[in-house]
Amino acid sequence: MKHIVLILSLICAVALNGFAQQAPPDSQKYNFTVADCVNYAYEHQHDVKNANLDVESAGYHVKETIGQGLPQISGAASFQDYLKTPSIIFPDFISGPVYGILNKQHVVDSATNKVISGTPPASNGKANTVSFQQNYNTNIGFTINQILFDPNYIVGLQASKTYKELYTRSYTRSKIEVNVNITKAYYQVLVSAEQLKLLEANVNELKQQVDETTARNKQGFVEKIDVDRITVQYNSLVTNWENTKRLIVLNYELLKFQMGMPVNKELTLKDKLEDIKLEASIADAVNDTSIYHNRIEYNLLETQKKLNEYDLKSKRGQFLPKLTAVANYSIANQNNSFGQLFSSNYPSSYVGLNLSIPLFTGWQHLNQVKQSKITVLKSQNDLDDMKNTVNLQVDQARISYINGLQTLNDQKKNMALAAEVLRVAKIKYEQGVGSSIEVTQAQTDLQQADNTYIQGLYDALVSKVDLDKAYGRIK
């Protein structure tokens, strides 16, 4: 019983110690600028990580291509136990000459006392079989092959650098896309926070009006319908305010998702809206028709065209001969007794050259070359189309940005005017020369101006990101 208690005590102690040593929950808080969010995504976002792995894999592919030109050494070993050795059928080419010689020597057949005829007696129909194989056989050896001249290998070496460049640029494209998505999501959170501030200010102001109107109704200065009208407006505004607070939580989660950060982590934003520079001079810049050289999409098509040209060279190389060197060394063992199998061995070796010259392949190689030529032409067409596409995207982004700035400035003015109209309407209502409907309408107009300003602010910020992407400024 004492032993049982001791064992249970030890088990409990180990369990408690293991529980105490468990890692504490990750309570780290992140306070990021938009640049911090982008850098975090470069290390944690799914697409970027996979694109980086593709670059690493492309490096191994290049080494694989180089390895094809190094000596290729292979070994082989075999063992056979012939339960029944194979035989080879031989014609009877001995009896005829032997009987001919005996006839010429006048040799007498003792059975007949006559000279042996020069023709052998008729065959009994049985084939003569001979076996050259032993019951037990082993063979151990290795072979070395070395490419001396292979056009496909030479072109493969030339294309290996371009092949890796393709995946490196794909990695850059993934980073740019993540940068754009994160920046827009970051701005969405900032704009939602600004919207929440405006709504909170309107809620507080409208709550004051509800209290004042209710008090005046109790004193008999305003009718009950005025209280109900402004209360309806207040309730609607509070609902909008609460909905916006919930949407901000969702916007934060969307930003963290774009970053590759677990959505349950705590993230706060360091940048402010006033820190973002919206400059009209950027939008008014003259469009550069050669801007497509800064776009990763165009660079990817250039790289793809290079690979297609290398493929064409490889197809043309199929008409050239291929030369390889080969060397072999092997040891064979044969015996009818397994115990004596390795008592003796029979080594063999050779060196040689293999020359392969394509003479006629049914026009296959010629048609493959023509197909590769067409692929190169299509690549050039894609490049020409991309130039036109980039120029169009730059014009669209530039005009959208100019319009966004103009709209934003107008909405700022409208928001200030709506606030002034509400102020005057409240004064008139308090002095008894205005109606509650006028105040309610002014309040509604201010809320509408605020919402339009928020939308215009987000559109201007997004159009700035699109403009930077169109000009190839995001790397």
For domain 27-77+149-320+363-471, give its CATH number from 3.40.47.10, 3.40.50.720, 1.10.3720.10, 1.20.1600.10. Answer: 1.20.1600.10
pLDDT value for 148: 93
pLDDT digits (tens, 9 = 90+) for 291-342: 888 999 999 999 999 999 999 999 999 899 999 999 999 999 998 888 888 8
3-state SS class at 410: helix
**Residue 40 and residue 27: Cα distance in Å, rounded?**
17
Q: How many CA atoms lie within 13 A of 451 on its CB side?
A: 10
CA distances (Å), origin 260, targets 21, 41, 168, 475: 29, 6, 21, 19
Sequence-distant (6+) residues with CB within 8 A of 321 are: 149, 355, 356, 357, 358
Cα 85 → chain centroid: 58
pLDDT value for 428: 86
pLDDT value for 123: 53
Token pair in block for residue 330:
């092997």
Contacts 24+ apart (CB under 8 A), 362-371: 365/315, 365/318, 365/319, 368/315, 368/318, 369/312, 369/315, 369/316, 371/315
State the CB neighbour count (10 A cutoff) for residue 444: 15
pLDDT value for 94: 64
3-state SS class at 136: strand
* pLDDT digit string (tens) for the chain, length 475 residues: 444 444 445 555 544 455 444 444 456 888 999 999 999 999 999 999 999 999 999 999 999 999 999 999 999 999 999 988 888 776 666 666 777 777 777 777 777 777 777 677 665 445 567 777 888 999 999 999 999 999 999 999 999 999 999 999 999 999 999 999 999 999 999 999 999 999 999 899 889 888 888 888 888 877 888 888 889 989 999 999 999 999 999 999 999 999 999 999 999 999 998 888 887 655 554 556 678 889 999 999 999 999 999 999 999 998 999 999 999 999 999 988 888 888 888 999 999 999 999 998 889 989 999 999 999 999 999 999 999 999 899 999 999 999 999 999 999 999 999 999 988 988 887 787 777 788 888 888 888 999 999 999 999 999 999 999 999 988 8
For the beta sheet containing 346-356, the strands, ordered from the edge strand earlier in sequence to the opposite edge, are 72-81, 136-149, 322-335, 346-356
Residue 258: exposed, middle, or buried by beta-carbon count in 10 A (0-12, 13-18, 19+)? buried
Token pair in block for residue 201:
């200010």
pLDDT value for 282: 57
pLDDT value for 1: 45
pLDDT digits (tens, 9 = 90+) for 237-254: 999 999 999 999 999 999
Sequence-distant (6+) residues with CB within 8 A of 401 are: 282, 283, 460, 463, 464, 466, 467
Q: Helix 224-259 vs helix 151-218: angle between axes, to the nearest 10 degrees?
A: 160
> Contact at 8 Å (CB) between 137 and 342?
no
> Contact at 8 Å (CB) between 325 and 150?
no
pLDDT value for 399: 92
The full length of the chain comes to: 475
pLDDT value for 100: 74
3-state SS class at 6: helix
**Residue 401 and residue 408: Cα distance in Å, rounded?**
10
CA distances (Å), origin 29, targets 26, 226, 271, 340: 9, 48, 16, 78
Strand partners, 330: 141, 348
> Contact at 8 Å (CB) between 326 and 145?
yes
DSSP state letters, 377-399: HHHHHHHHHHHHHHHHHHHHHHH
Phi-psi region of 472 (alpha: psi -120 to 50; beta: other; left: phi over 0): left
0.75 exceeded by pTM:
yes
List, by residue range, all CATH 1.20.1600.10 domains of the chain.
27-77+149-320+363-471
What's phi and psi for 9, nearest 5 deg?
-65, -40
Strand partners, 323: 149, 355
CA nearest 303: which of 58, 470, 469? Answer: 58
- Continuous segment of H or E residues that includes residue 450: helix 436-470
What's phi and psi for 144, nearest 5 deg?
-115, 130
pLDDT value for 17: 56
